[in-house]
A and B are shown apart, each in its own frame.
Chain A
């Protein structure tokens, strides 16, 4: 007797994100960094050629990473490997799927390939995570087939203030939606520029139907615990680890703080003796064209 195995379902795509909850996903640019991340207790790694802080510093067009690099990283670790495709670049996404990555991040950190359309993510067996700065944006990404959301923050800055703004905005908008009467949800859907059915579902359940992580500017154990206390399901740490003085130690400390986010003693202990944090940039000092969070719509 053989049971049919059904791959690539919504449940299976969203399911992997459920398994990552309470964990830390770390940006890595080499197989060695990926091993350090895994050893520190990362639940997944994001394979890329340059961390956002370097993309910012070096400028130019940022694209999908070299397949060789992604394959080396896949071979070097046992945890899930994610990789970034440019917004709207469905061929980069096809390549990443062919390389058998576990999740694709359609990311504003890379240069957008399409300023009108995002990728039609329903066409893929591999799941996608997408960034959002507000509820409407999150719901539009879900409509296109995203299986996980990350609030954007401002990548490559080490400044947590935008991450704070985005998670507060999304949660505030969900709470507001839940408080509206049923007959107001049609207009709410119009305002959010999202399908009515999805708006109705979020209003009824008081949460997104997928896992939401926080990203963009998290550099310390305290930053990670802050985001978890605000209701994040987990955190992405980009430049914050490998642009710091002692990456292995900082990575393990952020993992601990993410688990015991509600226990200040554990977070205090995890914060000791980590060496230098990434220097960072204040988001307010960034001219508008250099703000990555404004890419995507």
Chain B
């Protein structure tokens, strides 16, 4: 089983390290050929505007959308934004991958001075994770909520698509990745 990490921009290395530590093979995905080799895909943290522009510029957007319809995908922070069907505060011409019937708001927890670490409960385990200029899930729609923070959903699952507004990969929190990899 090969897990791809979309490597156009962002914290690719942290996801690769986490996937490797869970005993899976990982590859960086920069091209359609790379994507074809992957059985599952992580869309990492980064800047959602930049990643979106690059997906369009390198003609990967449609291939990734198709991938999302068929295979397991996990998006963290910018990845969650890109996988959402509806995004408040996106640029007018910013294209989304979509797939998650949810509404999120970009940078809704505030600027960098309001970025924070917090402990969340997910799948019965407590883990420390990082929220960096994080998106807020305003409406989780029909998705299954996996974790909350002060009443807000912060991790969700919809079929084989997983999303989190935080970065488990920065603190090495493994539970969300384990759930995602179990879906392969």
Chain B contacts for A127, CB-based, 8 A: 112
Chain B contacts for A15, CB-based, 8 A: 115, 130, 132, 167, 170
| Cβ–Cβ contact B91 & A260, under 8 A | no
| Cβ–Cβ contact A11 & B130, under 8 A | yes
Chain B proximity of A259: nearest CB distance (Å):
5
Given A2-B150, A97-B113, is A12 in contact with B132 using a C-beta cutoff of 8 Å? yes
What's the Cα separation between A143 and B140 when bound, in Å?
43
Query: A98: nearest residue on chain B (CB-CB)?
Result: B113
| Cβ–Cβ contact B45 & A41, under 8 A | no
| Cβ–Cβ contact A100 & B111, under 8 A | yes
Chain B proximity of A120: nearest CB distance (Å):
17
B146, CB-defined interface residue at 8 Å = no
Q: Could you say which of B14, B78, B118 contacts A5, with CB atoms under 8 Å apart? A: B118
Chain A proximity of B38: nearest CB distance (Å):
18
Size category of the binding interface on chain A: 35 or more
Chain B contacts for A260, CB-based, 8 A: 30, 58
| Cβ–Cβ contact A11 & B113, under 8 A | no
What's the Cα separation between A80 and B46 when bound, in Å?
11
What's the Cα separation between A78 and B30 when bound, in Å?
25
What's the Cα separation between A260 and B34 when bound, in Å?
13
What's the Cα separation between A191 and B107 when bound, in Å?
43
Q: Could you say which of A5, A11, A21, A78 contacts B46, with CB atoms under 8 Å apart? A: A21
Chain B contacts for A256, CB-based, 8 A: 54, 57-58
Seen from chain A, the residues whose Cβ lies within 8 Å of a Cβ on chain B are 2-9, 11-12, 15-16, 18-23, 38-44, 74, 78-80, 97, 100-103, 125-127, 252, 255-256, 259-260, 266
* New contact pairs (8) apart from A6-B117, A16-B112, CB-CB < 8 Å: A3-B119, A11-B130, A19-B11, A21-B13, A39-B93, A100-B113, A252-B53, A259-B58
7 A-B pairs in the complex with CB atoms less than 8 angstroms apart: A20-B46, A40-B53, A41-B49, A43-B47, A79-B50, A100-B111, A102-B111
